[in-house]
């Protein structure tokens, strides 16, 4: 089923998110990466888990059918969007799974509204600010700009998100937009947390070591032959790792 988004309390800062729901059971929420949507990312995961779980697939703020012109406080507002959307859907708590910006929104949700998070699974996230972050960020922005010189790619994003999607890229292009002050400290998390990294992303793999020593609730998995988008680069392995984690903290699992 698809639950259509509706804006709520215009001017306050948060909105209900366009959301697709598949299956039934304990809710598991997949939070997509930048410039994707609930239905265009984590495809191998929601196909795998929907037979045993209620799969919840929101379009995050400024993506897909969840449009918003206010992206200045993205992760804070994104967490509130998600919390209010889950409340509206009657979801008291859920397994939260995210990658990249989805991980960041999920982390903000877990810190601000821990009662909504049964378990937390993160990937594509940097714990600490690299010493050469200025150069890394500059290269990322240049690669992004090169990609968007392709008219077919721009047309695809126009079709997927409508007008305004470039505003999100403008936010990401700001060097200080990454919330290292939040990602560097997971010591206060009380829910079971899984940090999955692809071994080819050196920065994120180093972060796995950092996170592993932060608190007893954090579990670490390093998957070979994958990088930042580990869930799409090694979906079968990712699914098995995630399923094993969920089986420990839920009443169902996937065979």
pTM of the predicted protein model: 0.93
53, part of any domain = yes
pLDDT one-digit tens code per residue, 105-145: 999 999 999 999 999 999 999 998 999 999 999 998 898 88
Task: Convert the pLDDT of each residue in 60-81 to its tens digit.
Answer: 999 999 977 688 899 999 999 9
Give the model's pLDDT for residue 21. 96
Task: Return the pLDDT at 14.
Answer: 63
User: Per-residue confidence at 162, pLDDT binned at 50, 70, 90?
Assistant: confident
- Distance (Å, whole) CA 6 – CA 145: 32
In this prediction, residue 3 has a pLDDT band, given cuts at 50, 70 and 90, of: very low
Joined tokens for residue 238: 């990712």
Domain interval for residue 221: 2-129+180-249
The answer as to whether 254 is a domain residue is no
Q: Is the pLDDT of residue 43 over 60?
A: yes
Q: What is the pLDDT of residues 79-88, one digit of tens each?
A: 999 999 999 9
* Model pLDDT, residue 6: 42
Asked if residue 238 lies in contact with residue 224, where contact means CB atoms within 8 angstroms, the answer is no
Q: What is the DSSP string of the chain?
A: -EE-----STTTS--PPPEEEES-SEEEEEE--TT--TTTSSHHHHHHHTTTEEEEEEPPTTBTTB--S--TTHHHHHHHHHHHHHHHTT-S-EEEEEETHHHHHHHHHHHH-GGGEEEEEEES--SS--TTHHHHHHHHHHHHHHHTT-HHHHHHHHHHH-TTHHHHHHHHTSGGGS-HHHHT--TT--S-EEEEEETT-HHHHHHHHHHHTT-TTEEEEEESS--TTHHHHSHHHHHHHHHHHHHHHSS----
Q: Is the pLDDT of residue 158 over 70?
A: yes
Q: What is the pLDDT of residue 102?
A: 98
Look-up of token digits 């796995």: 208
Residue 93 in domain: yes
pLDDT value, residue 146 = 85
Give the number of domains in the chain.
1
Report the share of the chain in percent with pLDDT over 90. Answer: 71
142 occurs within a structural domain? no
Q: Does 155 map to a domain?
A: no
- CATH number of the domain to which 211 belongs: 3.40.50.1820
């Amino acid at each position: 089923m698809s639950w259509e988004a509706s804006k709520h309390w215009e001017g306050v800062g948060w909105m209900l998110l366009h959301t697709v729901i598949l299956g039934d059971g304990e809710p598991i929420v997949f939070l997509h990466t930048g410039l994707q949507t609930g239905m265009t990312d984590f495809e191998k995961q929601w196909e795998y888990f929907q037979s045993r779980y209620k799969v919840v697939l929101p379009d995050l703020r400024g993506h897909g059918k969840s449009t918003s012109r206010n992206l200045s406080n993205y992760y804070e507002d994104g967490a509130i969007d998600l919390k209010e959307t889950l409340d509206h859907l009657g979801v008291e708590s859920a397994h939260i799974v995210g990658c990249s910006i989805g991980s960041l929104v999920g982390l903000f949700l877990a810190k601000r509204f821990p009662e909504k998070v049964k378990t937390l699974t993160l990937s594509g996230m940097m714990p600490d600010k690299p010493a050469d972050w200025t150069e890394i960020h500059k290269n990322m922005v240049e690669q992004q700009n090169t990609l968007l010189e392709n008219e077919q790619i721009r047309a695809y994003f126009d079709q997927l998100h409508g007008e305004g999607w470039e505003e999100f890229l403008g936010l990401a292009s700001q060097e200080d937009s990454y919330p290292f002050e939040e990602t560097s400290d997971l010591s206060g998390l009380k829910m079971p947390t899984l940090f999955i990294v692809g071994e080819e992303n050196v920065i994120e793999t180093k972060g796995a070591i950092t996170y592993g020593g932060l608190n007893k609730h954090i579990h670490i998995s390093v998957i070979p032959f994958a990088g930042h988008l580990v869930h799409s680069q090694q979906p079968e392995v990712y699914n098995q790792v995630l399923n094993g984690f969920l089986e420990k903290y839920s009443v169902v699992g996937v065979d």
